Amino acid sequence: MGSGFEVTSVGKKKLVRFVPTELNKDHNQILELVQLFLAQGFVTVDEVERWLSWTTGLAIDALDSLLAEGLAMIDDGRRDGR
């Protein structure tokens, strides 16, 4: 893979990070939560709020940060628009 990547532990899994960014506690919590929902392949703002007991603003800010850093993407394929 060359240089410019780092292997980071997130819960019980390893994450290979190719973008130069720091994962903070919020990022790690969301990535750990996503591991719980791997069968569905995504996590919603509602799930982040419910499972982590976060406010809507905190959930959106943390997810937006992951989006901005290239660690997440928006999947608009859900029928309910979430």
The answer to the question of residue 3 being in a domain is: no
pTM for the full predicted model: 0.68
Cα(41)–Cα(19) distance, integer angstroms: 21
The answer to the question of residue 26 being in a domain is: yes
For the chain, what is the domain count?
A: 1
Largest CA distance in the chain: 41
Q: What are phi and psi of 36, to 5 degrees?
A: -70, -25
| 69 contacts 21 by C-beta, under 8 angstroms | yes
Structure confidence by residue, pLDDT tens digits, 48-66? 999 999 999 999 999 999 8
The answer to the question of residue 56 being in a domain is: yes
In this predicted structure, the answer to whether residue 33 has a pLDDT above a threshold of 80 is: yes
The answer to the question of residue 35 being in a domain is: yes
